Amino acid sequence: MVFAVNKSKETEVMDINGGEMDLVALKNSYEKELANLKALLLSGSSWEEMKDQRKKVTELAIALHKKINTSGNPAESADRSEKRISR
């Protein structure tokens, strides 16, 4: 999934699922967007107004989880039984 973040007259495009962001950049993006969401919540913005921000944070959290779980942990692998048999 590709989405654009509008940042003061410039547009930054991030390819989350394409794997182009490394773990550190993905984590930094997630933390930044989460902080933005918290600021919106604290400022009293309506739930509907925060829809796009909530979606960004959710997509980044999912991408971060997937990136972390590609570390080779067999318990997190969908085909873990096949790996165990092939040993």
Domain that holds residue 38: 16-69
Residue 82 forms part of a structural domain:
no
Query: Vertex 10, ends 46 and 26: CA angle to 5°?
Result: 70
Residue 44 forms part of a structural domain:
yes
Number of structural domains (the chain) is 1
Residue 81 forms part of a structural domain:
no
Q: What is the pLDDT of residue 55?
A: 97
Q: Is 83 exposed, middle or buried (0-12, 13-18, 19+ CB in 10 A)?
A: exposed
Q: What is the pLDDT of residue 5?
A: 46
Which of these, 68, 64, 56, 63, lies nearest to 17 by C-alpha position? 63
Residue 78 forms part of a structural domain:
no
Give the pLDDT of the chain (87 residues) as one tens digit per residue: 444 444 432 233 445 544 567 889 999 999 999 999 999 999 999 999 999 999 999 999 999 988 887 656 666 566 665 555 554
